[in-house]
């Protein structure tokens, strides 16, 4: 099994630099959640320095939430530089399925560089897996699929780790499949929880070479912080502030008593 | 009269997709206020997908707060696509009057696409109405005008709904004119309350075809949430968090007892 | 000595327009901290209006945190316009030393326009001073230098004011050197405290012609607000909200009893 807290401890000790080419809506939140867990966030999207920064970083996180053609070009440079270094690349397929541009650019990224971790909700990952699903904005839709099988199959085909977020998150590297059953419904009322999840996965993947274990540990820690943050929150505004506090304060005792990471059959 | 709460209920039930091409300062806050009221925010400014996203959306909100020539070009594509679909377009004339570029681009947008709702403070709307007023930054200046008459005249000339925000908001579609007397002085100390107001108007206009009624209802709900959020706030930081909480929690009882929407003479 | 509170009073009374060309991560926070202290923030990065806005503004703040070549070109236009007007220009050398692009663009800005205040942490300012130091992301590294001597020397050479932030901030205009000993370790856990410091310095420099005194007063007020905000905070999320509250509420009594501004030998 994954030793969730030990991965968090490594993040806190190593303070990995996590490079982001991300969206303009949640860019602060992505940086702050990485910092709250002990990592060092950096955001550098100029094509002239995106690769240089990925060479310095322990992980590179790509998020297409507010993509442009130019930004995706810079993502390719950053991802290829991370590949050369051997540092993991996370792709948050934010909004895949919503427009032709998003789909095309996702596949371009996947075909240009090695993406080590593909992360999205059920409809986004379905799209990347070649399933015909429509996304409504950035919110998850119910999809009538065997999501575990889809994740495993995509992970094998792309030789990567696949993360499908939802009430229960699925993490598969084609062999092992984890289910992360932490989290709270309030997360769906705060803008950016999906983006933050990808950033946290990046921070954990920077310190743990078993990427499926890293992703499962990161998701579990993030969602335990969310469960703790809901206590005493009166809505998404106070929840947001408490989420950063709880991630920052997260203790061994909290992680070990609250983590719900299982291996799927 | 406007049944304010019934429009809010429709937003919560229909969860309209509200597409934004907006500014980088308040982009999170615009998304979060829409989500807090029950809508689905999306931000997509690439020219290759701006129109596609507007075709999926119930309303499109344009905000020129940090405009560039390229961003305004994408706004035109998005607005024309919304026009074809028959979905409302809201323009927040953020900072109009401050520079030549802002004025030119406002008029280009107004002349290229049908803008269904023009929203600004007194000095911004005065500028669009052709009055000679100087804006200091994005804050309202005192203008010695009959603002109701100006709003009505501009609404008739442009065949649209005009919203002038201030201590008392004016909403006119050229026939009916509403005054919204909710709100609190603390709103002027938080960056982005004007931008959020435009986003809320977008969400409400997506579900209510009477656009003046939609705008008045949206402003009233937003400002009631602000009045509630001020209680227990110690400044703009805690006010911001509580504003999202109060929007999220807003009840029928609160709306019906606190709304101050009047029809102007 | 600097009369710290009297500079804050001038900001509150004059409400200076503070123009920013800044980064997308902390752009909201930069705007909100300026507004919380009583200034009027504006962000306008289009090359067609960047200079116009600097002509209206009391100070211009440049921050290269998420620079692009185009953004730096607009910064040059804005800085030159501010120079012509005689309004101060602040450069936050965010991340200098991390990549070749950042170094090149810092020096281009310094050589194209008059930068009145150069601000960074020890490693960033060392780089601009021509010292060979590596920056890890945007966080400060220990540097084994006499920082006061370095600041003084750079200030003389560039005929400007130099601000080196850290546990003790150094402010030198080549003649007078202030040490600002306010602040709290929690600031290092919140994304954007460095960027906000530069924005506050901009607001204070807009109203106080002695730029070293302005920078010292601004830093002291910002860091006193941080010390107050830590009380009752449980981590970076609640600290962020309280920071804006405490800046907004900051009283003469608090400033006068807590300020720690000294003149260095």
Contacts of C48 in chain B (CB under 8 A): 69, 100-101
Which of C17, C32, C45 lies at the smallest CB-CB distance from B236?
A: C32
| Dist. CA A19–CA A32, nearest whole Å | 13
User: Are the CB atoms for C18 and C206 separated by under 8 Å?
Assistant: yes
Per the prediction, chain C carries an average pLDDT of 94
Q: What is the pLDDT of residues A45-80, one digit of tens each?
A: 999 999 999 999 999 999 999 999 999 999 999 999
Q: Scanning every residue of chain A, which has its alpha carbon at the shortest distance from the alpha carbon of B19?
A: A137
Min distance A238 CA to chain B CA atoms (Å):
5
Q: What is the pLDDT of residue B133?
A: 54
The answer to whether the CB atoms of B236 and C41 lie below 8 A apart is: no
DSSP strand E in A12-116: where?
Answer: 17-21, 40-43, 59-63, 89-92
Q: Scanning every residue of chain A, which has its alpha carbon at the shortest distance from the alpha carbon of C138?
A: A42
CA C119 to chain centre: 6
| Dist. CA A118–CA C123, nearest whole Å | 35
Res. A229: pLDDT tops 90: yes
Half-sphere exposure of C111 (CA within 13 A, CB side): 7
Which of C28, C67, C136 lies at the smallest CB-CB distance from A46?
A: C67
Min distance C236 CA to chain A CA atoms (Å):
6
Q: Any idea how long chain C is?
A: 265
Contacts of A196 in chain B (CB under 8 A): none
Counting as contact any 3 or more CB pairs under 8 A, the partners of A are B, C
Lowest mean pLDDT among A96-100, B174-178, B206-210, C143-147: C143-147
Q: What is the ipTM of this complex?
A: 0.95
Q: Helix crossing, B27-36 with A236-249: angle to 10°?
A: 120
Query: Sheet harboring B177-180: ordered strands across?
Result: B40-43, B17-21, B59-63, B89-92, B117-121, B161-165, B169-172, B177-180, B261-263
The answer to whether the CB atoms of A69 and B52 lie below 8 A apart is: no
Structural domains present in chain B? 4-263 (3.40.1190.20)
Q: What is the pLDDT of residue B69?
A: 98
Counting as contact any 3 or more CB pairs under 8 A, the partners of B are A, C
3-state secondary structure of A129: coil
What is this structure's pTM?
0.96
- Report CA-CA distances (Å) from B142 to B98, B123, B125, B148, B219: 15, 8, 12, 14, 21
From B265, B194, B264, B261, select the one nearest B6 (Cα to Cα): B261
Q: What is the pLDDT of residues C36-61, one digit of tens each?
A: 999 999 999 999 999 999 999 999 99
- Read off the tokens for C90: 């602040």
Residues of B with CB under 8 A from a CB of A: 17, 24, 27-28, 31-32, 35-36, 40-46, 48-49, 52-53, 56, 240-249
Contacts of C46 in chain B (CB under 8 A): 66-69, 101
Q: What is the pLDDT of residues A143-164, one digit of tens each?
A: 445 899 999 999 999 999 999 9
Planar angle of CA B199, C62, C251, nearest 5 degrees: 75
> Which H helix or E strand runs over C120?
strand C117-121
| Dist. CA B50–CA B163, nearest whole Å | 25
| Dist. CA B195–CA B120, nearest whole Å | 9
Min distance C253 CA to chain B CA atoms (Å):
17
Mutation target among A22, A24, A25 for the B interface, most CBs of B within 10 A: A25
Res. C141: pLDDT tops 50: no
3-state secondary structure of C109: helix
Which of C137, C192, C235 lies at the smallest CB-CB distance from A248?
A: C235
Torsion of CA C140, C146, C148, C151, to 10 degrees: -70
Planar angle of CA A52, A64, B57, nearest 5 degrees: 155
The answer to whether the CB atoms of A137 and B31 lie below 8 A apart is: no
| Dist. CA A146–CA C216, nearest whole Å | 61
pLDDT tier, C137 (very low <50, low <70, confident <90, very high otherwise): very low
Stretch C228-257: mean pLDDT:
98
Mutation target among A32, A52, A54, A195 for the C interface, most CBs of C within 10 A: A32
| Dist. CA C172–CA C265, nearest whole Å | 12
| Dist. CA C66–CA C63, nearest whole Å | 8
């Amino acid at each position: 099994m994954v030793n969730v807290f030990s991965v968090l401890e490594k993040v806190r000790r190593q303070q990995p630099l996590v490079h982001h080419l991300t969206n303009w809506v949640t860019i602060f939140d992505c940086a702050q959640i990485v910092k709250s867990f002990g990592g060092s966030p950096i955001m550098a999207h100029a094509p002239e320095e995106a690769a240089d920064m990925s060479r310095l970083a322990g992980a590179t996180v790509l998020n297409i939430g507010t993509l442009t053609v130019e930004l995706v070009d810079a993502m390719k440079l950053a991802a290829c530089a991370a590949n050369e270094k051997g540092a993991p690349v996370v792709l948050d397929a934010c909004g895949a399925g919503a427009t032709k541009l998003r789909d095309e650019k996702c596949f371009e990224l996947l075909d240009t560089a090695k993406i080590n971790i593909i992360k999205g909700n059920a409809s986004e990952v379905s799209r990347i897996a070649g399933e015909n699903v429509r996304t409504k904005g950035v919110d998850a839709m119910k999809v009538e699929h065997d999501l575990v099988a889809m994740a495993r199959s995509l992970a094998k085909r792309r030789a990567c780790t696949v993360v499908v977020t939802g009430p229960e998150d699925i993490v598969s590297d084609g062999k092992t499949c984890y289910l992360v059953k932490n989290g709270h419904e309030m997360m769906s009322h705060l803008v950016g929880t999906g983006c933050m999840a990808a950033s946290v996965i990046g921070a954990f993947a920077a310190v743990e070479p078993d990427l499926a274990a890293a992703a499962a540990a990161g998701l579990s820690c993030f969602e335990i912080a969310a469960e703790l943050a809901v206590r005493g929150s009166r809505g998404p505004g106070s929840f947001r502030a408490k989420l950063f506090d709880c991630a920052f304060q997260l203790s061994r005792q909290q992680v070990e008593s609250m983590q719900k990471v299982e291996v799927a059959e």
